[in-house]
Structure 1
Amino acid sequence: MKKTLLFVFLLSLTSCEYFETRKVTSEEILSEETKELNWQEVDQYPAFEECREVLESDAAKACFGNKVASYFYARLESKQPVVTEALNDTLYLYLKISEKGIPAIDSMEVDSLVVAQLPEIRSWLTQSVDSLPKIYPATKRGIPVVTTFKMPIVIQAE
């Protein structure tokens, strides 16, 4: 009897708030989850068919970047441009991949000397982007997202 009385006494000293459960709204869960996410990184980078099996993040990014670069260089070489002065410059192409995997040029940083020697460089790059093979979009938590890549393109002509 003493043990039961002692248990009841100790139970009465504890607060009922220890036994209450707090109701958490979906807005609170979403708010906490949003704070924890790194919105500057994606879970899976955009990919061509050949790069879809690459799971490691840096390797997948490199695979995508290398495929785009080699495709651009092949397209530019096929144009057989003629220049009056030697060129050795780097232009920067900001390539945007939509959540549907549609590539587009967001912007370009092209030196005026390159434009003077190759006046059609912008249209050539636009044509190259328009004819890229199917791209699977980047994902964040399984949801397709928009990504933008800064792609250096080295222009060398003699």
Structure 2
Amino acid sequence: MKKTLFLIFLCSIFVSCEEFKTRKISSEEILVEETRDFNWHEVDQYPAFSECRSITEVEAAKSCFGNKVARYFYSRLEAKQPVVTEALDDTLYLYLKISEKGKPAIDSMEIDSLVIGQLPEIKSWLSQSVDSLPKIYPATKRGIPVKTTFRMPIVIKAE
């Protein structure tokens, strides 16, 4: 009886060991699985100026960065004191690219022809404003600096 129980026990051990086999996963399979689950349109941390770096909540950090850039552009454009012959009330869109090193650049602009007609130097003013932005810390994804592009609306009102 004891021998029979012992044999049954040994057989069950050998059979159950099949259940504990591990499958080797190659690094390529891990990479494919990670990139499939990876959201390429979101960053973990938005670009930031020094006063916005301590903000950890994503939407608040994005808002801080956007507000600071907008205030900077408006102050630079206001300092130009442009003169117009017709009232303007329009929104232009600036696509601002921040590199992995934190270098800002204009990717493109959407400006109505009426605004360009009234303010022919608007493109150069915006370019000068971008070139003189204070130090920007780049966005990060999993701790790695990445480039980002933002669509910044700029409201132009002049009377």
* TM-score, L = length of structure 2: 0.95
Match of 1:4 in 2: 6
- Aligned-residue sequence identity (percent) comes to 75
Match of 1:138 in 2: 139
In the TM superposition, 1:1-158 aligns within 5 A as 1=2, 2-12=4-14, 14=15, 17-158=18-159
SS in 2 for 1:132: coil
Shift, 1:139, TM fit: 0.3
* TM-score, L = length of structure 1: 0.95
Deviates further, 43-52 or 30-39: 30-39
1:36-70 CA deviation, whole Å, 9 max, x = no partner? 11110000000000000000000000000000000
Shift, 1:21, TM fit: 1.9
Shift, 1:10, TM fit: 2.5
Paired residue type of 2:10 = V
Distance 2:11 2:113 in 1: 87
Distance 1:153 1:33 in 2: 38
Residues 142 and 48 of structure 1: CA distance in aligned 2, closer, same or farther (over 3 Å): same
Shift, 1:18, TM fit: 2.0
Q: Give the length in aligned residue pairs.
A: 157
Runs of 5+ in structure 2 lacking a partner?
A: none
Deviates further, 25-34 or 109-118: 25-34
Distance 2:12 2:18 in 1: 15
Paired residue type of 1:152 = P
Paired residue type of 1:65 = G
Runs of 5+ in structure 1 lacking a partner?
A: none
1:102-148 CA deviation, whole Å, 9 max, x = no partner? 00000000000000000000000000000000000000000000100
Shift, 1:9, TM fit: 3.0
